[in-house]
Amino acid sequence: MICLDRDPDAIRLSRERLRSDHRLHLIQANFADLDRVMQDLAIDKIDGLLLDLGMSSYQIEQSGRGFSFNREEPLDMRMNPDHKPTGEHLINTLSARSLQTLLWEYSGNA
């Protein structure tokens, strides 16, 4: 089984919980990178695919991630903390129109 997640914390927690199951390939990657991941693992086909594309309650509730309005913390909003820019940077540097376009395009409504 190949398990992909952009969030390094999700991969770390999964490794801790599932370390005894050697059938799993836990990889920090975007689901859009599945072809590359399969090539890296020398897997040429899969029998099925299950995608969980939403955020978890853990990600929303975890302090320091900036996904929730329920906490006083920096507005980070990144699934992968290694990626730039933060939500705070975008809100403070983009024009209102550019921010509206960005939110629309990444909301899944476009």
Q: What is the pLDDT of residues 49-66, one digit of tens each?
A: 877 777 777 777 776 778
Helix %, strand %, coil % of the chain (to 5) = 40, 5, 55
Every domain of the chain and the residues it spans: 1-53
Q: Note the pLDDT tens digit of each residue in 69-108.
A: 788 888 888 888 888 899 899 999 999 999 999 988 877 6
Q: In whole angstroms, give the CA distance from residue 23 to residue 56.
A: 24
Per-residue pLDDT band for 110 (boundaries 50, 70, 90) equals low
Least confident segment among 8-22, 39-53, 56-70: 56-70
Model confidence pTM above 0.85: no
Whether 49 and 35 have beta carbons less than 8 Å apart is answered as: no
